[in-house]
Amino acid sequence: MPATLRPFYQLELEAYRKQYATGNLYQAWNHLERAHVIGQAYPVEHSQVHGLMLIFGFKTKNIKETLGQIPRLLLGGIKSFAGKIPVGNTGGSNIPPLKPLPIQDDIKEIFRKAGVNR
C-alpha cells in the first residue's frame, strides 16, 4: 500500500475498533467495509480486513458472515496480488465476492488525495 494511502486505511481501522468497543456494531462494520474498499488492491491490507471481518462474524455470532469470510480471507490477498479485484466491493458476505460496486464519493476523494487511481 502506498504510504500516501496508508493513513486513510489506518483511520478506518481505528474508527472500527473505537465503534466496536463502544458497542456501535453497525458503525464498526461500516468502517471495516470502508477499509476494505481502500485496501482491497493490496494483498496484506485486503487479507487483514477479511481477517477482521471473520473475527467480527465470530464475535457477533453471525454464522453467515463467519462462513462467508473464510473463502474471502483465503483468496482475497491472492486476487489483489493478481490485480483481479472487484473494485468498490465492500467485502461482506452480503455482497457477491466478485461483484464490483460504485465507490463512495468521499473514498474517491481519499484516492485522489493519496494519488491513487481507482
Q: Which helix (H) or strand (E) holds 48?
A: helix 43-59
CA–CA dist 28, 77 (Å, integer): 22
Is 32 a residue whose pLDDT tops 90? yes
Q: What is the 3-state secondary structure (H, E, C) of 56-111?
A: HHHHCCCHHHHHHHHHHHHHHHHHHHHCCCCCCCCCCCCCCCCCCCCCCHHHHHHH
For 35-54, the pLDDT digits (tens) are 999 999 999 999 999 999 99
pLDDT at 82: 86
For 73-115, the pLDDT digits (tens) are 988 888 888 888 899 999 999 999 889 999 999 999 999 999 9
For residues 32 and 20, the answer to whether their CB atoms sit within 8 Å is: no
Helix (H, G, I), strand (E, B) or coil at 1: coil
